[in-house]
Amino acid sequence: MNAYERILAVLERRQTDHLGFLPITMMYAADQIGKTYGEYTSDFRILVDAQLETAKRIGTDHVSCISDPGREAADCGAKVMFFDDQPPAIDETNALLADKTRLKTLTVPDPHKPGSRMFDRVQAAELFASKVKGQYFIEGWVEGPCAEAADLRGINQLMTDLMDDIGFVKELFAFNVQLATAFAAAQIKAGCDIIGVGDAAASLVGPRFYRDVVFPYEKQLIDNIHAAGGRVRLHICGNTSRSLTDIGKLNCDLVDLDWMVPVDKARKETGADSVLDGNLDPVKVVRNGTPDSIKAALQVCYEQADKKNYIVGAGCEIPRDTAPENILAMRDFAVQTI
């Protein structure tokens, strides 16, 4: 059973030879081939080479187009700051939608426009497909409705809007679903097997706002990705413990849990059939731990997940300076566990 077959079997709730292993690697991956992170985020060929080398070195079951949250926003016209060896960052002091009325003028960018940041990711998917289709699970990535709203409006202003202008927030979320749907469809057509939906800002709202405002738009996006022929990996950075029951109703193929979320609570509230990924603390446990302590922590996660529908991973990105033996311990746990 190769890596692609293994993850497909997990997502379809079939027997596998061992647990899947899907860590998020970005800066770590760039370092594996001696490239700066600025190069990684700006040239799809470097990103692909870095992911393939990382998969070979640490035994992951996937390769990913993930890099930074600024691709869609940049192509919409947002100001993005670029750095030599750090992730691009949205300039929130000059948010694209500082004036809310500008939303009426926005149109969804063409994800195939030459030279655009979205097209660079689509090209990564195409290159992955030409090299490893059917061997590794190929993962694309889009920003979720709440995260993209934070990128376009500014996170602080968005939180205020939730109280002061819920109508505008819903209009913005609806636009973001159209944006992410188009971007996801382009990546699926290019060869992606699964689309990561990163919606970090959604962890900052309470359960009522999540259920009433965020959930409907996440659900629409996930349904749209499924309709386009893709699968969905939902990744919400932060503590989503109060919204797990609703997350379980999204019909995601895979739910990433950040390290603050108890796995046993997630299993109970998202349902027995939910496929869970995670959720070691990337710094305290993965970066600062030892191979033995990492395996022990994963055993706890596995048991809390009821030893089923579970994929090995950390709560978020593997820090770039993590010792290789620590990541290999995660791989070894996956390989040694059925």
Token pair in block for residue 205: 């709202």
Residue 174 contacts residue 116 (beta carbons within 8 Å): no
Band of residue 317 on the pLDDT scale cut at 50, 70, 90: very high
If one counts every other C-beta atom within 10 angstroms of the C-beta of residue 307, the result is 12
Distance CA 79, CA 325 (A): 39
Planar angle of CA 196, 335, 5, nearest 5 degrees:
50
Q: What average pLDDT score do residues 298-320 get?
A: 97
**Distances in Å between the alpha carbon of 10 and those of 3, 16, 95, 332?**
11, 7, 41, 18
pTM: 0.96
224: Cβ–Cβ under 8 A, 6 or more apart, which residues?
177, 181, 184, 185
* Average pLDDT of the chain, as a whole number: 97
Strand order in the sheet with 137-143: 20-21, 310-314, 276-280, 254-256, 231-235, 194-198, 137-143, 62-64
Q: What average pLDDT score do residues 56-80 get?
A: 97
- Greatest Cα pair distance in the chain: 56
How much of the chain, in percent, has pLDDT values that exceed 90? 99
Q: What is the pLDDT of residue 113?
A: 98
Q: What average pLDDT score do residues 128-147 get?
A: 98
Q: Supply the DSSP symbol for 114.
A: T
Tokens 């290159």 correspond to what residue? 127
In the chain, the domains with their CATH numbers are: 3-336 (3.20.20.210)
Cα 226 from chain centroid?
16
Q: What average pLDDT score do residues 227-250 get?
A: 97
200: Cβ–Cβ under 8 A, 6 or more apart, which residues?
69, 146, 147, 150, 235, 236, 237, 238
pLDDT in tens, 29-52: 999 999 999 999 999 999 999 999
Q: Determine the residue type at 33.
A: I
Which string of DSSP letters, residue by residue, matches 141-199?
EEE-HHHHHHHHH-HHHHHHHHHH-HHHHHHHHHHHHHHHHHHHHHHHHHT-SEEEEE-
Residue 136 contacts residue 129 (beta carbons within 8 Å): no
pLDDT above 90 for 290: yes
Q: What average pLDDT score do residues 216-241 get?
A: 98
Band of residue 130 on the pLDDT scale cut at 50, 70, 90: very high
pLDDT above 90 for 252: yes
**Distances in Å between the alpha carbon of 62 and those of 140, 210, 278, 323, 338?**
11, 30, 15, 20, 19
pLDDT above 90 for 241: yes
Q: What is the pLDDT of residue 89?
A: 95
pLDDT above 90 for 338: no
**Distances in Å between the alpha carbon of 298 and those of 8, 17, 207, 268?**
21, 18, 28, 18
Distance CA 222, CA 75 (A): 22
Token pair in block for residue 169: 């927030």
pLDDT above 90 for 56: yes
Phi (first) and psi of residue 232, to 5 degrees: -130, 130
Estimate the crossing angle of helix 44-58 against helix 117-132, to 10 degrees. 40
